[in-house]
Structure 1
Amino acid sequence: MINFPAIDIAASGLSAERFRMEVTANNIANANTTMTENGEPYRRQAVVFSSLADPLFGSSDNEEMLGVKVMGVQSDPTEFPTIYQPGHPHADADGFVKLTNVRIPDEMVDMITATRAYEANTRAISAFKEMVEQTLSLLQGGR
């Protein structure tokens, strides 16, 4: 079987960025959630990526890159903002409500960044496909 590392690298990027878009969409969907099962507002989630490298190709300075991997999702530890809203069902005894630490402008930047990275990986796959097609065309014309 023929292996195309360029396709594998771009495909790993597509998968990772798709996952980041899903997590970001979930953050946006929960931007107004002031109470979860644990009794706190929704805490923003962030995706952690790591590069995939082949250690067989030398030291850490000279490893062959094999793509990107999602290492996991971590909670954003920033404080929850509070507002004074004594009539809110989740207000404390002093009338303050803890809000989620999701900031819509930050989420939109993450979504745009993930979308652009996804598009770049798609274009890389398309460019590679065109190069292979042109090479096959040249080889067939040379017969």
Structure 2
Amino acid sequence: MDLFKTLHIAASGMRAQGTRLRVIAENVANAESLAQTPGGQPYRRKLVSFANAMDRELGAETVRVRKIMTDKSEFSRAYQPGHPAADDDGYVLRPNVNTLIEMTDMREAQRSYEANLKAIEASRSMLQKTLQILS
């Protein structure tokens, strides 16, 4: 495989994982964000979906973010009768963000980002050695 293709493919993977990391960070930051009005909804967790994209100029498939969607899972409820968002029974809807899952996803995205970075570093090293041989 052409080393320049390798660089572009790995860079697209890094961009996709960077987006995933930003979405995960947003989820963690809003893990305790409750509605401020009765009956209002709290923060809803976001998810990133990826897709293969044919780069015709490059002649290879790369990865891209297909879309950022919201998690449709149910909210949990907590009894907080004094909260402004409490319903008539005193319950408040809580975000559907589980910080343990988010941290696990973050670690996975970080590892994927690092793997793409290593591929770029290896390609760069091979290109440098090729230039040294040619000069």
Give TM-score scaled by structure 1 length.
Answer: 0.84
Change in Cα spacing, 1:36 to 1:112, as seen in structure 2 (3 Å) is farther
Query: Are 1:43 and 1:100, in contact at CA under 8 Å, matched by a contact in 2?
Result: yes
- Within a 5 Å distance, the mapping from 1:3-82 to structure 2 comes to 4-35=4-35, 39-53=40-54, 65-82=60-77
Equivalent-residue separation in structure 2 for 1:65 and 1:77 (angstroms): 34
CA contact (8 A) 1:83 1:99 kept: yes
Q: Which amino acid aligns with 2:54?
A: A
Q: Deviation digits for residues 23-51 of structure 1, max 9, x if unmatched? A: 11001111011117993110000011001
Query: What is the deviation of 1:89?
Result: 1.8
Contact 1:85 1:96 in 2 (8 A): yes
The share of aligned pairs that are identical, in percent, is 44
Q: Give the match's secondary structure for 2:33.
A: coil
Is 1:95 equivalent to 2:90 in the alignment? yes
Query: Which of 2-11 and 130-139 deviates more?
Result: 2-11
C-alpha deviation, 1:11, in angstroms: 0.6
**Residues 12/137 of structure 1: CA separation in 2 closer, same or farther (3 Å cut):** same
- Verify the 8 A CA contact 1:51 1:65 in the aligned structure 2: no
Amino acid at match of 1:14: M
Quote the offset at 1:65 in angstroms: 4.4
* Residue correspondences, number: 131
Write the distance in 2 (CA, Å) between the matches of 1:103 and 1:36.
21
What residue number does 1:60 align with?
none
Structure 1 runs of 4+ off > 3 angstroms?
Answer: none
1:61 matched residue in structure 2: none
Runs of 5+ unmatched residues, structure 2: none
Larger radius of gyration: 1
TM-score (norm 2): 0.89
